Structure 1
Amino acid sequence: MAVEFVGTVPLILLLVAAVWECVLIGYAFSLAGNAADEAARAGAVKGAGECRTAAAKYVGSAWGMSVVCDGSGDVYKATVRLNIPVLYPGLGFGAIEGKGGAAMERERP
């Protein structure tokens, strides 16, 4: 019985690590999408400077975020790119992209 236990523990740990990685990737998709939506909304109302600030407000520095804001046309677009984490948000092996858009509007002075 002890031999079977020792043999299955690494498999169980590997399964737990795989599930955790899936959770982190799903959370990264959620963070990127939300940050892109918030950035696009802020950019549509207040401009490109607020676009980047709004995206950074919702994502921690460990995710390696980059933001591209584009205010051409009637729709303000924001793209947020996050590193895909490997067991921890500071370690990455690729990138996840979230895109958001909002209708252009300006606040009255």
Structure 2
Amino acid sequence: MPARRGGRGDRGDRGQVAIEFVGTVPLILLLVAAVWECVLIGYAFSLAGNAADEAARAGAVGRSCEEAAGAHVGSAWNMTVACSETGGIVTARVSLNLPLLYPGLDIGIPIEGEAGSPKEEEE
């Protein structure tokens, strides 16, 4: 007897692709969210390092560290800045909270950036 080839009576596989797709959609969305979170973590480290560098440079010439760092970081990142001077070196430490899917929704884990710059001599 010859094999049947998808005629009107063969409806056992109808909708199979749709069911498999619906089953994999949550896994795909979870993977996209995990990749996005990794991107945000990397961006937060980069942002904290740059803000600390700018704050240290500003402190070295006598300007406000907090204002210099704040000019490069949005308010949603819950940034804290600490500047100190030791032995002619201005050190700035910037701390941001780790965001969960977007800045502003954080889980309280700090991401820190630290930088130093030699103090500029006043003439």
TM-score range, shorter chain: over 0.9
**CA distance in 2 between partners of 1:21 and 1:92 (Å):** 11
Choose the corresponding residue for 1:12, options 19, 25, 28.
28
C-alpha RMSD over aligned residues: 1.0
Give the TM-score normalised by the residue count of structure 1: 0.93
Match in the other structure for 1:88: 102
**CA distance in 1 between partners of 2:116 and 2:45 (Å):** 16
Say which SS state the counterpart of residue 58 (structure 1) adopts. Answer: coil
State which structure, 1 or 2, has the greater radius of gyration over its C-alpha atoms: 2
Deviations 1:62-95 (A, max 9, x none): 0000000001212100000001000010111111
**CA distance in 2 between partners of 1:107 and 1:11 (Å):** 60
Matched, 1:27 2:43: yes
**CA distance in 2 between partners of 1:86 and 1:24 (Å):** 8
Structure 2: tracts of 5 or more residues without a match: 1-16
Deviations 1:20-63 (A, max 9, x none): 0000000000000000000000001115xx11110000000000
**Which consecutive segments of 4 or more residues in structure 1 shift more than 4 A?**
none
Say which SS state the counterpart of residue 33 (structure 1) adopts. Answer: helix
Structure 1: tracts of 5 or more residues without a match: none
Give the TM-score normalised by the residue count of structure 2: 0.83
Report the Cα offset of residue 99 of structure 1. 0.2
Q: Report 1:1-109 matches (<5 A).
A: 1-47=17-63, 50-93=64-107, 94-108=109-123
Q: Counterpart amino acid of 1:31?
A: L
Match in the other structure for 2:5: none
Q: Which has the higher contact order (CA 8 A, sep 6+)?
A: 1
Bigger share in helix: 1
